[in-house]
Chains A and B, each alone.
Chain A
Amino acid sequence: MLVLEKNSLSEEIEKLAELYGSDRSALLQILQAVQKKHKYISDFAQQEIARILNIHPVEVHSVISFYSFLNSKPKGRNIVRLCKTISCDLAGKCAVEDAVKRELKINFGETTRDQKITLEYTNCLGMCDEGPAMLVNERVYTHLDPETAVNILNQIK
């Protein structure tokens, strides 16, 4: 990581701490903001957050490892999460799953070579009456079939 990048990241985290506060209860909000912008929370970012909140970096890492929407390894620019819980499963999740895998030529848990899309599973999205459903970043798509799901992925930049 370049020094310039490090400086700008530190500055960004300091701004977040001003916005959300610099006590422990702001940790999750700061992590969510960093995750949203960079798609992952780097080791350096974790250390900076720990320094500003005055806690041990391991505490930060432990929180990241607990929540499934936070991660410490780089991911694609867009994270696609397909719901695999029972109602979406009954509604035809498997067909969507196969089509998406074939089209992107990756498995779930992997990122496309151009770093555009990371495919993941997620548990219940609360769209059980409109399944199968998937999240593309924070946007939700429902009533998927193999074709519409692939079309949605093709429109992602």
Chain B
Amino acid sequence: MEKTKKRTGPVLFSEYTPGSGIKKTLEIGREKVLYDIRNSGLKGRGGAGFPTSTKWMLTAASVGDKKFIVCNADEGEPGTFKDRVLLLEYPELVFDGMVIGGITIGAKEGFLYLRGEYEYMLKPLEDYLDIMRQDNLLGKKILGSKYDFDITIRLGSGAYVCGEETALIESLEGYRGEPRNRPPFPVNTGYLGHPTLVNNVETLASVPHIITKGGDWFRQYGTDKSTGSKLFSVSGDCDKPGIYELPWGTTVNELLTIVGAQNTKAVQIGGASGICVPRSQFNRKLGYEDAATGGSVIIFNESRSMIHVLKNFMEFFVEESCGQCTPCRIGNTKLLEGVERIEKGEFTFAYLNTLKDLGNTMKVASKCGLGQTSPNSFLAIVDNFRNEFFHTNGNGGQK
């Protein structure tokens, strides 16, 4: 696995010696690791932004003869590809993070749940795990300590909803990837009923840096509520699409300048389940306190039809809804139907308002994050790009 190009960035792409985080963990002990993670203010990088230290402490504190750590590499959010880059170019960060987590919470086994679409990564990742085993960074008595830990890679089979942590656990157990009711949370009752820590790839990749360089070092980047940096997966209408590591708090405008985007009409932040930001809001800050995101940034220029974009998103959700709960299964179908009618120009404002009510209901009534966030782009686009709807037939609204 040769690095195609040297990437640079303040935190994740800074210097790191493979294995050094594990060594440091064994020196400083589990309590200090938990303290450092807490001090760093690290939050879940998948998009939900749950404090990582809380998850780690709860799993470490829960009682069980077996515990598991799972790295969630089921990145299916449209426009997100940071995990692909991390796993292909920085596997040492992800796997070291898993080992550190395993030692800290008391797990002996870890899983990397790799999405089926990334099957081509399986071989290089397995090879890297073998190297780690040879170096005694995995396996029995890691680096001569009393800890045993090993990692198994499991493949998904093409289901977006499996990125939800309880659905992922169902899938690991050999069931349909349908989210569970919570509570109980995986930190107490996870894989096969054992306490399980599920973290995003990027979250785990941040851990070795925090352990070797300290929580204070991590905190100096970003804002008060969003510490550290974030990988942004930029695609769409710009000169330089790709992965960018930027500190939290960067504004949409600054990002657009960095990636060379011109004539931008709107930016979709957080993928299909995120928010659509029109030009008037380009001064918004990327961070958990304002525009929260798992890192997906899709840029649309003046030539794009927002109705076409919205239709693509809604088709995605109709296909990917697991169908378990009614608000999400029927709601997304109805919203797609609505978008199709808007596209044809066959709608009344009363109908549009009913659809908005439906969207707001889905946000509160759906069982998991999929249905709770899928109406976001519908609501944002209907509110912010209303004037486009009257011109969808290309005749300035005239029949």
Contact = CB atoms under 8 A, between A and B. Distances in A.
A37 interface: no
Contacts of A62: 176
Contacts of A138: 119-120
A138 B122 CA distance: 10
Contact of B235 (A26, A31, A87): A87
Given A66-B177, A87-B78, A25 B237 contact: no
A140 B120 contact: yes
Contacts of B117: 122, 124-126, 135, 140
A126 B80 contact: yes
Interface string A122-134: 1111111111000
Contacts of A13: none
Contact of B174 (A26, A124, A128): A26
19 contacts: A25-B172, A28-B172, A28-B174, A29-B154, A32-B155, A32-B157, A69-B157, A69-B158, A86-B309, A87-B79, A87-B235, A90-B236, A90-B237, A90-B304, A124-B78, A126-B80, A128-B241, A129-B234, A129-B241
Interface in A55-104: 62-63, 66-70, 84-87, 89-90
Contact of A122 (B155, B158, B178, B243): B158
Nearest to A127: B81
A38 interface: no
A125 B121 CA distance: 13
Contact of A89 (B119, B158, B233, B312): B312
A31 to B, nearest CB: 8
Nearest to A83: B117
A76 to B, nearest CB: 17
Contacts of B316: 85-86, 123-124
A80 to B, nearest CB: 13
Interface residues of A, number: 35
B176 A66 contact: yes
A106 B178 CA distance: 33
A25 B120 contact: no
A87 B298 contact: yes
Given A66-B159, A86-B312, A126 B320 contact: no
Contact of A67 (B76, B84, B159): B159
B121 to A, nearest CB: 10
A128 B235 contact: yes
A85 B242 contact: no
Interface residues of B, number: 52
B176 A131 contact: no
Interface in B234-256: 234-237, 241-243
A157 interface: no
A65 B173 CA distance: 16
A117 interface: no
A31 B174 CA distance: 10
B302 interface: no
A69 to B, nearest CB: 4
A124 to B, nearest CB: 5
A3 to B, nearest CB: 29
A47 to B, nearest CB: 17
A105 interface: no
A27 interface: yes
B373 interface: no
Contact of B176 (A32, A63, A84, A122): A63
Contact of B78 (A31, A128, A129): A128
A24 B191 CA distance: 12
Contacts of A63: 174-176
Most buried by B among A87, A123, A131, A139: A87
Given A26-B174, A63-B174, A123 B319 contact: yes
Interface in B271-324: 272, 296, 298, 300, 304, 309, 312-313, 316, 319-320, 322
